[in-house]
Amino acid sequence: MTGSADLLRDKVVLVVDDEPDVLDTVEEVLETCQITKAGDFETARQYLMSYSYDIVILDIMGVNGFELLQISVKRGFPTVMLTAYALTPEALEKSIRLGAVSFLPKEKMGELDEFLADVVLGGNRPVWDKLFVKLGRLFSSRFGPDWKERNRFFREFEASMRAARPPENHPS
């Protein structure tokens, strides 16, 4: 099986976060990628408007990540939200509605390459079903065990993901 480092090799990635240590950690985790780092909204906006990226990774707080997400999606870049403080069902819902392809807690930064490999393998389309499987326990521990059932958006979103899955082939 191809490793995540191979799938991500030479991908051009923009990483936006107001914490320099986060930018450095992402650069280390994605060592096979060509990384551009931005530590503030205006620098990130300029990069998004001036260059092309295979993947964009955005913090939410401190850099106005949701506004940057709208710009990134409009430009056609698969965009992943990476957050610590905005790890809430509301931020997750807003990320989905605005067109992000994935959403990761910063505590999972060490596994960022695996999550981005899912995005690449998924043809740069949203990979929410895989994310919910991988992070289901974490989300339930943070948001409460019935967080999806309590929120109509997530109930409907999960139903739409199930309906969009190709039927499984069962041997006769």
Task: Give a yes or no: residue 136 inside a domain.
Answer: no
pLDDT at 37: 98
pLDDT at 168: 58
Q: What total number of domains does the chain contain?
A: 1
- Cα distance between residue 22 and residue 59, in whole Å: 10
CATH of the domain at 102: 3.40.50.2300
Average pLDDT over residues 16-33: 95
Task: Give a yes or no: residue 149 inside a domain.
Answer: no
DSSP secondary-structure letter at 9? T
Instruction: Find the length of the chain.
Output: 172
Residue 25 burial (10 A CB sphere; 0-12, 13-18, 19+) = middle
**Is residue 48 within 8 Å of residue 77, measured between CB atoms?**
yes
Task: Give a yes or no: residue 44 inside a domain.
Answer: yes
Backbone angles phi, psi at 97, to 5 degrees: -60, -35
pTM of the model: 0.90
pLDDT(24) > 50? yes
The confidence band for 7, taking pLDDT boundaries of 50, 70 and 90, is: confident
Task: Give a yes or no: residue 73 inside a domain.
Answer: yes
List, in order, residues 6 or more apart from 64 with CB less than 8 Å away: 41
Helix axes 89-98, 65-74, angle to 10 degrees: 20
Residue 56 belongs to domain spanning? 4-125
Task: Give a yes or no: residue 141 inside a domain.
Answer: no
Task: Give a yes or no: residue 67 inside a domain.
Answer: yes
Task: Give a yes or no: residue 24 inside a domain.
Answer: yes
Q: In terms of pLDDT, which residue wins out, 36 or 126?
A: 36
Question: What tens digit of pLDDT does each residue of 73-89 get?
Answer: 999 999 999 998 888 99
Task: Give a yes or no: residue 8 inside a domain.
Answer: yes
pLDDT at 171: 53
The confidence band for 172, taking pLDDT boundaries of 50, 70 and 90, is: very low
